[in-house]
Amino acid sequence: MYEVIETVNLSKNFQDFWGRTKAKALDKLNLKIYRGEIFGLLGPNGSGKTTTIKLLLGLLFPTSGKIKILGSSPRSVVCKKYIGFLPEETYLYPYQNAQEALFFYGRLFGLSRSVCKKRVEDLLEMVGLNKARSRPLKEFSKGMARRIGIAQALINDPELVFLDEPTSGLDPIGTREIKDLILQLKERGKTVFLCSHLLSDVEDICDKIAILYGGKIRCEGTVEELLSKKTATQILLEDIPSPLLQELILWLENKGIKPSVEKPRERLETFFLNVIQQARMQQAPTSGATQGIKKENFFSQNTLAEKKEVNPVLAQLVQPVEEPKEACPPGMDQEIKQEEQNTSVDKILLDNLVSKKEIGKKISEEENKESTIAKEQSIKKDMIQRLLGNFMKKDQP
């Protein structure tokens, strides 16, 4: 594992004109973030989350300490090719329209016009702003601007994405979409650095979190480690008749276990999403953002392989990435998935090539990989034999 981000004793003080320290925003921050992780930096307002991101991007210079991003300094222009950034507020140009804005950011990465156009199309679709594409950004609501912000952060198909409170200003659907998008990024082996004070966001998607307060990390670890209650076990049952329940409780009490019994509540998020999903099915009109579409082929899988020459650390980062897992977000996603399976030609081709996989049966990753290799080998063998056969024929007419 190689660090994508590494900070050593990173400190930042804000000073006034006379050099007196006004605010200690960060105090000896030590972070190590590895490739493919979703890292969540949690903290109340003013705890130094944005300052950390600004330092990591070279927008601020550290008072002391060291930063390495993708193996180089945050000011390195080459490394910025592989970085995407969504600031805490979406700072857009009011006079551009959605399309122009994304095209502009794409061009800043040196993407060619045609590539840029293609990506802009995909991203607009992905963030659900296809219909608002030629409206000036000054007319956008906060959530719509946020979506543009997210799109611009992904325009270069980045390896490392910084998201500063990505869900602020977004409706629950947007929030869900962003979360799915982040998971999708992870599937593709990208690293995500996420700042938020919304605990549910972080809890749902992050692998690792750190809690920041007063510029210092107070607690750090994987979500599993930090949140699992080791002293309790939860059993979830279908609705059962009350006599049976009484019996069960009695049985448990006889065993010396005192259970607490309550009706589980649906999460508001799930409930809300279901309601909207129903409204959409009835095709209610809206002038805002529409549902974003998951673009399976937008993110590259292993782009770092082409980036070997960039710098040694990037070169080291070139290692096999896990096959995409089936992300299974709850609720409304079922339908989209259905659609996407029809459109994703590559995937179908791949599936046919790899194995006749039964729908519904989930092949474990190992199996999947093995069968791919086996199949590839058999195809190669086949081809070699055929070629050899041709030679034989030529030699011996």
Partner 1 sequence: MSAILAIAFKVLQEAKKTKPALLLFFFVIFLLFLFPFTLKSDGTLNGQIQLFIGYSLLILSLALYSNSIFFSVLSFTSEIKGKQFYLIDCKSISRWQFFVGKFLGMAILNFFALVFMGLILLFLILYIKETQGTAEERADVQEKIFTSYQGIEPHTSMEKLFSMVDKEYQKRKAENRLPSNMSEEEIKSQIKSQIQQQLQVIPYGYQRIWHFHNLPSGLKSSQQKIKLRYKIFLSDAGSSFLCKVYWQAGKGTNLYAVEDKVKAGEYYEFTFPSDTVEENNTLEVHFFHKDEKAGMIYFPIEKGIELFYPYGSFYGNYIKTLLLVYLLSCFLVALSLFASTFLTFPIAVFLGLFILFLGLIAPFLMEISSLGQGIENSEKEILWERIPDILSYAILQASFFIIPDFFYYAPLESLALGRYMTWSIVGESILKLILLRATLFSILGCFLFKHREVGKPLL
Ligand X SMILES: Nc1ncnc2c1ncn2[C@@H]1O[C@H](COP(=O)(O)OP(=O)(O)O)[C@@H](O)[C@H]1O
Instruction: Please choose which of Mg ion, partner 1, ligand X, none residue 25 contacts, taking the beta carbon within 5 to 8 angstroms, the exact cut-off set by kind.
Output: ligand X
Q: Is 143 an interacting residue with respect to ligand X (CB under 6 A)?
A: no
Write out the two tokens for 224: 């599993």
Instruction: Please choose which of partner 1, ligand X, Mg ion, none residue 89 contacts, taking the beta carbon within 5 to 8 angstroms, the exact cut-off set by kind.
Output: partner 1
Torsion of CA 233, 236, 240, 244, to 10 degrees: -10
Query: How near is the Cβ of 48 to ligand X at its closest, in Å?
Result: 4
Residue of the chain from 1, 9, 14, 278 that contacts ligand X (CB under 6 A): 14
**251 burial via Cβ count (<10 Å: 0-12, 13-18, 19+):** exposed
Kindly tell me which of 48 and 292 has the beta carbon lying closer to Mg ion.
48
- Which are the contacts of 344, defined by CB distance < 8 A and separation ≥ 6? 296, 297
C-beta of residue 74 within 8 angstroms of C-beta of residue 57: yes
Q: Is 89 an interacting residue with respect to Mg ion (CB under 5 A)?
A: no
φ, ψ for residue 83, nearest 5 deg:
-120, 140
- Name the one range near Mg ion by CB under 5 A: 47-55, 133-141, 169-177, 294-302: 47-55
Q: Is 51 an interacting residue with respect to ligand X (CB under 6 A)?
A: yes
Instruction: Please choose which of Mg ion, partner 1, ligand X, none residue 156 contacts, taking the beta carbon within 5 to 8 angstroms, the exact cut-off set by kind.
Output: partner 1
Residue of the chain from 1, 21, 46, 322 that contacts ligand X (CB under 6 A): 46
Q: Is 48 an interacting residue with respect to ligand X (CB under 6 A)?
A: yes
- Which are the contacts of 78, defined by CB distance < 8 A and separation ≥ 6? 72, 310, 311
Interface size with Mg ion, residues (CB under 5 A): 2
C-beta of residue 189 within 8 angstroms of C-beta of residue 321: yes
Q: Is 188 an interacting residue with respect to ligand X (CB under 6 A)?
A: no
- Name the one range near Mg ion by CB under 5 A: 33-41, 84-92, 136-144, 317-325: 84-92
Write out the two tokens for 41: 């930096």
Kindly tell me which of 100 and 171 has the beta carbon lying closer to partner 1.
100
Kindly tell me which of 126 and 209 has the beta carbon lying closer to ligand X.
209
Quote the Cα angle for 50-51-55, to 5°: 115
Write out the two tokens for 133: 């594409």
- Name the one range near Mg ion by CB under 5 A: 3-11, 49-57, 73-81, 240-248: 49-57
Kindly tell me which of 86 and 132 has the beta carbon lying closer to partner 1.
86
- List binders of ligand X among 22-41 (CB under 6 A): 22-23, 25
Residue of the chain from 47, 50, 99, 175 that contacts Mg ion (CB under 5 A): 50
Q: Is 88 an interacting residue with respect to Mg ion (CB under 5 A)?
A: yes
Write out the two tokens for 235: 């059993």
Binding site for partner 1 (CB under 8 A): 14, 16-17, 54, 57-61, 77-78, 80-81, 83-85, 87, 89, 91-93, 95-96, 100, 104-105, 107-112, 152, 156, 162
- Which are the contacts of 89, defined by CB distance < 8 A and separation ≥ 6? none
Instruction: Please choose which of partner 1, ligand X, Mg ion, none residue 23 contacts, taking the beta carbon within 5 to 8 angstroms, the exact cut-off set by kind.
Output: ligand X
Instruction: Please choose which of Mg ion, ligand X, partner 1, none residue 16 contacts, taking the beta carbon within 5 to 8 angstroms, the exact cut-off set by kind.
Output: partner 1
Kindly tell me which of 146 and 294 has the beta carbon lying closer to partner 1.
146
- Name the one range near ligand X by CB under 6 A: 45-53, 107-115, 363-371, 378-386: 45-53
φ, ψ for residue 389, nearest 5 deg:
-55, -45
Q: Is 158 an interacting residue with respect to ligand X (CB under 6 A)?
A: no
Q: Which residues would be at the binding site for ligand X (CB under 6 A)?
A: 14, 22-23, 25, 43, 45-51
Q: Which residues would be at the binding site for Mg ion (CB under 5 A)?
A: 50, 88
